[in-house]
Structure 1
Amino acid sequence: MHQHTTNPLTAAAAHGPIALTRAVCDIESVSGNERELADAVEDLLTQATHLTVTRIGNNVIARTNLGRDRRVVIAGHLDTVPVASNLPSEQRTIDGRECIWGRGTVDMKAGVAVHLALALELDNPHHDITWCFYDNEEVDAHLNGLGVVHRTQPELLTGDFAILGEPSNAIIEGGCNGTLRAVITTKGIAAHSARSWMGDNAIHAAADILVRLSAYEPATITVDGLDYREGLNATGITGGIAGNVIPDLCEVMVNYRYAPSRSLDEAEAHVRSVFHGYEVRIVDKAPAARPGLDAPMAADFAKAVRCATGQQPAPKYGWTDVARFAELGIPAVNFGPGNPSLAHHDNEHCPTSDITAVYNSLKAWLSAPNS
Structure 2
Amino acid sequence: MQNDTGGEEPNRREEVADLTERLVSIPSHADETAAGDAIEDWLREETEPAGATVERDAVGNVIAYKGAIDDPEATSLALVGHHDVVPPDDEQVDTNEAGEEAYVVERRDGRIYGRGAADMKGAVAAAMVAFRDATPPAGRELVFASFVGEEVGGTGARHAIEAGFAPDYALIAEGSTNYSKPDVTDVVIAHKGRRASTLVAEGAAAHASEPEAGENAVYRACDAVDVVRSLDAPETTVFGEDVQGSVAVTGMHGGETWNVIPDRCEITIDERTVPGERADLARAEEVPGVEWTVEQDLPPMGCTDGAFADATLAAAREAHATLGLDEPEHVTKPHATDAGWLAEAGTACVVCGASEPGEAHTRTESVSIDVLDRCYRIYAGLAERRW
TM-score category (smaller protein): 0.7 to 0.9
CA deviation digits over 1:289-337, x for unaligned, max 9?
323351x333222222134331111012222222222233321100110
Letter in 2 for 1:338: S
Q: CA deviation at 1:92?
A: 6.3
Q: Indicate if the aligned counterparts of 2:303 and 2:343 stay in contact, CA closer than 8 A.
A: no
Letter in 2 for 1:146: A
Alignment pair present for 1:257 and 2:272: yes
Match for residue 142 of structure 2?
129
CA shift in 2, pair 1:90/1:36, >3 Å: closer
Match for residue 46 of structure 1?
44
> Any unmatched runs of 5+ in structure 1?
1-11
Match for residue 85 of structure 1?
90
Match for residue 352 of structure 1?
369
Q: Which shifted more, 14-23 or 166-175?
A: 14-23
Alignment pair present for 1:180 and 2:195: yes
Alignment pair present for 1:281 and 2:281: no
Letter in 2 for 1:145: G
Alignment pair present for 1:327 and 2:344: yes
Where 2:346 maps in the other structure, the secondary structure is coil
Where 1:325 maps in the other structure, the secondary structure is helix
Q: CA deviation at 1:284?
A: 1.9
Where 1:16 maps in the other structure, the secondary structure is helix
Letter in 1 for 2:32: E
Q: Indicate if the aligned counterparts of 1:174 and 1:293 stay in contact, CA closer than 8 A.
A: no
Q: Indicate if the aligned counterparts of 2:77 and 2:143 stay in contact, CA closer than 8 A.
A: yes
Q: Which shifted more, 200-209 or 305-314?
A: 200-209
- What TM-score do the two structures reach when normalised by structure 2? 0.76
Q: Which shifted more, 341-350 or 176-185?
A: 341-350
CA shift in 2, pair 1:275/1:91, >3 Å: farther
In the alignment, the residues of structure 1 paired with residue 210 and residue 119 of structure 2 have an alpha-carbon distance, to the nearest angstrom, of 48
- What TM-score do the two structures reach when normalised by structure 1? 0.79
**Max radius of gyration: which structure?**
2
Q: CA deviation at 1:182?
A: 0.8
> Any unmatched runs of 5+ in structure 2?
1-10, 93-102, 178-184, 321-326
Where 2:382 maps in the other structure, the secondary structure is helix
In the alignment, the residues of structure 1 paired with residue 222 and residue 267 of structure 2 have an alpha-carbon distance, to the nearest angstrom, of 10
1:73-112 equivalences under 5 Å are 73-85=78-90, 87=92, 88-91=103-106, 98-112=110-124
Q: CA deviation at 1:238?
A: 4.6
Q: Indicate if the aligned counterparts of 1:175 and 1:323 stay in contact, CA closer than 8 A.
A: no
CA deviation digits over 1:161-211, x for unaligned, max 9?
111011111221012223211101123445788x79687664576455556
CA shift in 2, pair 1:41/1:246, >3 Å: farther
Which of 211, 225, 240 lines up with 1:225 in the alignment? 240
Letter in 2 for 1:332: C
CA shift in 2, pair 1:244/1:99, >3 Å: farther
Q: Indicate if the aligned counterparts of 2:303 and 2:309 stay in contact, CA closer than 8 A.
A: no
Counting matched residue pairs gives 342
Match for residue 165 of structure 1?
173
Which of 49, 65, 83 lines up with 1:63 in the alignment? 65
Q: CA deviation at 1:74?
A: 1.2
Q: CA deviation at 1:102?
A: 2.9
